[in-house]
Amino acid sequence: MKKRLTYWSYLLSMLAIHGAFAILALLSIFKINATQLLLAQLSSLFIILVSTAILFFKNTGDQSAFTFRLLILMTTQMLGYLSILLALIYTNQAAQFVFYMLGLALSVLVIQTSYLVRRLK
């Protein structure tokens, strides 16, 4: 049985990553306060929602078009996360907060890539 890529499965997998990082912060693995946690989660979720729109809005099922969408998706996400990290560094935020956001960004990018490749095989 072939696994299908739907926007619900994509959003749930991204929500699982964000949930895991929220639990890590609440367990004090990352020593960040509630405001920083909320800022990191909401900014990352905004990037994920934009990515979902890029990936699924007016998707015709054409594989070459989907490859182009995937390239746009990855570029948008990397630019978004790097912009957020740059803003955090230039405003002299705590190193723990910057590393939390960096870990969240890298986890989303790596897990999302493997998820999309496995679903599209």
Instruction: Note the pLDDT tens digit of each residue in 5-20.
Output: 777 888 888 899 999 9
The predicted model scores a pTM of: 0.87
Report how far residue 102's alpha carbon sits from residue 86's, in angstroms, rounded to the nearest whole number. 10
| 56 vs 75: which has the higher pLDDT | 75
No. of helices (H) and no. of strands (E), the chain = 4, 0
For the chain, where are the alpha helices, taking DSSP H only? 7-26, 34-56, 63-90, 95-120
Q: Please state the three-class secondary structure of 74-96 as a single string.
A: HHHHHHHHHHHHHHHHHCCCCHH
Q: Give the 3-state secondary structure of residue 1.
A: coil
